[in-house]
Structure 1
């Protein structure tokens, strides 16, 4: 199914899901964005910028895990936490069925993780391209994050020590260096991490998963940066 503008002009976007089509249609509605005066990030609604401004003010987050003392400013981040740490969905139902990527060895219990993996790793069409290098992505937010590696912009500030972070997630990781908090725990061995990505890499070892592959020689590894230091044949 493709989306047609009110003017009758056909858009290139297509999706088999009606919900995805409705969401995409909203992107064609001309609406003035609201810009954060602190970091210049743009938002489409006042509700989303209010949530964002709490980060700059260092205010308490809203969404709390009922099983452990972790809290998040966005509900989706809580959903990700519930799936990775407690293996359940937002309603507390257990995630029991392992889902496999049809293109590589990646596996996960969470449906949203599999969808995100396929889009990021296996989607050929990447419309958001960097003007500074060859980087391209399927996500506008990922491009904005990447561009900061060129501009060296660090708009997120730690209220404790003044440290400037390039992304919101890196600010949260930095804050844990002050609190000593390690909310991400391996269910198999109890190892704890301050960063969910480190837990993910750790879980790859347990499951013997190597999701990153060199397309020139077939070498596989658990971390993307290891492709740059792969052993010579």
Structure 2
């Protein structure tokens, strides 16, 4: 092995180039030890970096004449493994990004608000959507505007009803890939996202991010009318209705209106008679979970909470 082909062994694994120059020594020594399969050669590159190379179609004759003119691509083994789940990657950088889904780390901070992200691309999207006044992409149906073309594409599916992401185990389909990923967790039961503080596990990356805020005390969603702040955007949206007085959710049976979708859901049970919350010690059931909690005090022999039923 000449000087050119031996210097690679002195390079750190993470700094090795993705492409190795092929010299005459490799042509005469390495190729002869390669494994020929379907007219393709798997060439071990142990002398350079210990990783097999996929040399592709290479004629059995005249190898030495071509070795100084061609390059061999490394077949990057997915050797970087996550210790929390079965994720594997050929890139150490990708593993670092993936690990943040478990730790909740968000090193990319917005310099205009308190938003932070695990990946720079997410921060870039946030800045475009929240802090960039120019929003050139507009929906022709409802006038919605955005700074991101991909966001408009997803938005348009609300009007078209297109749901390109389909579950291969049931008839579920969705407009968002993230929704499909969350749905599939119902079939597998897998909960790959884990809190490093308390061991809480979830199938949803977004739920872990929200959970982490319980430990950090972070409340990134702030009301611009008062000092209210919240962990979740949905909580802020409900709070804002107190300032506007808007009650967008209406019962089709009696005209009852509310600012909270969940309140309408509970209200509708008065009409349907549905009582989804059941006592596991007797046949009592209720439309609200809080009613079952109060009822359970009877079984515990507690007088602190009195069942009103």
* TM-score normalised by structure 2 residue count: 0.45
Find out whether 1:179 has 2:221 as its counterpart: no
Shift of 1:44: 9.3
Partner of 1:65: 110
2:180 alignment partner, one of 120, 137, 143: 143
CA pair 185-59 structure 1, distance change in 2 beyond 3 A: closer
For residue 148 of structure 1, give the secondary structure of its aligned residue in structure 2: helix
CA pair 116-67 structure 1, distance change in 2 beyond 3 A: same
Q: Is the 8 Å Cα contact of residues 128 and 147 (structure 2) preserved in structure 1? A: no
Long gaps (5+) in structure 1: 1-30, 90-94
Query: Number of paired residues?
Result: 188
CA pair 128-157 structure 1, distance change in 2 beyond 3 A: same
CA pair 133-220 structure 1, distance change in 2 beyond 3 A: farther
Find out whether 1:75 has 2:120 as its counterpart: yes
Structure with greater contact order relative to length (CA < 8 Å, sep ≥ 6): 1
1:6-85 map, 5 Å? 37=82, 38-40=84-86, 47-56=93-102, 58=103, 60-79=105-124, 81-82=126-127
Long gaps (5+) in structure 2: 1-74, 273-309
CA pair 76-118 structure 1, distance change in 2 beyond 3 A: same
CA RMSD of aligned residues (A): 4.6
1:191 alignment partner, one of 228, 249, 257: 228
CA pair 103-155 structure 1, distance change in 2 beyond 3 A: same
Higher mean alpha-carbon deviation, 165-174 vs 35-44, is at 35-44
1:146-157 map, 5 Å? 146-157=183-194
CA distance in 1, matches of 2:106, 2:169: 35
CA pair 78-227 structure 1, distance change in 2 beyond 3 A: farther
Larger radius of gyration: 2
Q: Is the 8 Å Cα contact of residues 191 and 202 (structure 2) preserved in structure 1? A: yes
Partner of 2:131: 88
CA pair 190-33 structure 1, distance change in 2 beyond 3 A: farther
1:166 alignment partner, one of 166, 183, 203: 203
Q: Is the 8 Å Cα contact of residues 65 and 78 (structure 1) preserved in structure 2? A: yes
